[in-house]
């Protein structure tokens, strides 16, 4: 297990060079607080006071496909919702405001949302929503992809509704964006390339008297395969950039994973959201994880790095629900 003193640092978020992850959740348009209820991914950029708080997951067989690096570590709080509530997941890159680019403009790809009981079990993730290439234009005009043309253009807002009459209990919302800018090759064959997955999980507690139970879903890892057409895909066929492929060029796209559950809402529309209630800038960090090694460090003038300790971290998912422990460090 990761020491508590290190965990408190890991849960802080980078303020620079980050890939995309969820910074907050609005319930019916009301902000629940920055990083509240969110299993914030670890940093893995190395010994600098800034870096990736979510470098992409590319290995489809990794447990990090479930909720990202440190996804088994609970957030100290859980967001209470009711069936039918609108959830707006607030994705960002560097800052939680409308100036943030959300995700690099080259990271075209689909967006997906699943729900699972907390903790997940085998085949417990049920898809609530997805969106991929939703408008195709003749090459070389760019098509419109969910990550870059919808989520990024709408200030990082990804919308979903809690299923109607869903049974009360604790659940995880697993949301992800997939960058296909290196997806023309399989990670299995070329680890320097491959589709880039950005999963992130939010802890919710559904209240009320609902009786609907989730059906059988899929597992993470396990839901995606390198043979899936939506995993290995030449995204440049549908952008203004010349394709790198030497084979046939297609401008259609099949979103990976299962179909959307029939019990999900047929339409998920955006709602007006309140101003952010607290910090819009993440704290700097002094802990990172590379190849399961947790390193803690101190900095002098943001340049000199002094390593103060290391430990080995292995994900350990509980098979029964555990009440989240209070945070030792708040961000």
Q: Please, is 307 exposed, middle or buried when counting C-beta atoms within 10 Å of its C-beta (0-12, 13-18, 19+)?
A: exposed
- Alpha-carbon distance of 103 to 152, in angstroms, equals 6
Q: Which of 178, 25, 160 is nearest to 90 (CA)?
A: 25
Residues 6+ apart with CB under 8 A from 42: 10, 53, 68, 69, 70, 287, 288, 289
pLDDT at 52 over 70: no
- Provide the sign of the torsion angle of the four alpha carbons 14, 15, 21, 26, taken in this order: positive
- Alpha-carbon distance of 253 to 88, in angstroms, equals 25
Domains along the sequence of the chain with CATH: 1-331 (2.70.50.70)
What is the tens place of the pLDDT at every residue in 151-164?
Answer: 999 999 999 999 99
Other Cβ atoms closer than 10 A to 310:
11
CB 279 within 8 A of CB 15: no
pLDDT at 296 over 90: no
Other Cβ atoms closer than 10 A to 231:
22
Least reliable range by pLDDT among 39-53, 163-177, 211-225 = 39-53
Least reliable range by pLDDT among 119-133, 215-229, 281-295 = 281-295
- Alpha-carbon distance of 156 to 152, in angstroms, equals 5
- Alpha-carbon distance of 113 to 200, in angstroms, equals 10
- Please tell me which residue, 136 or 242, carries the higher pLDDT value: 136
- Alpha-carbon distance of 310 to 47, in angstroms, equals 12
Provide the pLDDT for residue 81: 98
Provide the pLDDT for residue 151: 97
Phi and psi of 296, rounded to 5°?
A: -110, 140
């Amino acid at each position: 297990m990761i020491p508590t003193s290190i965990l408190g640092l890991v849960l802080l978020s980078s303020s620079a060079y980050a890939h995309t992850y969820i910074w907050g959740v609005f319930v019916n348009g009301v902000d629940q607080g920055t990083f509240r209820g969110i299993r914030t991914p670890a940093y893995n950029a190395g010994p600098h006071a800034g870096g990736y708080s979510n470098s992409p997951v590319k290995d489809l067989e990794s447990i990090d496909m479930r909720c990202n690096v440190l996804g088994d570590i609970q957030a100290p709080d859980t967001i209470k919702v009711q069936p039918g509530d609108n959830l707006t997941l607030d994705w960002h890159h560097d800052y939680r405001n409308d100036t943030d680019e959300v995700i690099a403009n080259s990271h075209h790809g689909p967006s997906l949302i699943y729900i699972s009981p907390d903790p997940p079990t085998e085949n417990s993730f049920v898809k609530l929503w997805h969106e991929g290439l939703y408008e195709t234009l003749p090459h070389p005009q760019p098509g419109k992809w969910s990550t870059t043309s919808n989520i990024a253009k709408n200030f990082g807002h990804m919308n979903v509704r809690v299923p109607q009459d869903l049974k009360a209990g604790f659940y995880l919302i697993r949301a992800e964006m997939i960058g296909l800018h290196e997806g023309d090759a399989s990670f299995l064959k070329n680890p320097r390339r491959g589709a880039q997955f950005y999963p992130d999980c939010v802890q919710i507690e559904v209240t009320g008297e609902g009786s609907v139970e989730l059906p059988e879903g899929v597992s993470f890892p396990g839901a995606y395969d390198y043979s899936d057409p939506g995993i290995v895909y030449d995204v440049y066929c549908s952008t203004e950039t010349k394709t790198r492929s030497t084979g046939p060029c297609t401008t259609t796209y099949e979103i990976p994973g299962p179909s959307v559950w029939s019990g999900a809402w047929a339409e998920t529309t955006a709602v007006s959201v309140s101003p952010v209630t607290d910090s819009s800038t993440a704290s700097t960090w002094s802990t990172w994880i590379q190849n399961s090694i947790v390193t803690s460090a101190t900095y002098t003038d943001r340049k000199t790095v002094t390593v103060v300790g290391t430990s080995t971290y292995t994900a350990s998912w509980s098979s029964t629900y555990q009440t989240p422990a209070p945070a030792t460090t708040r961000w």
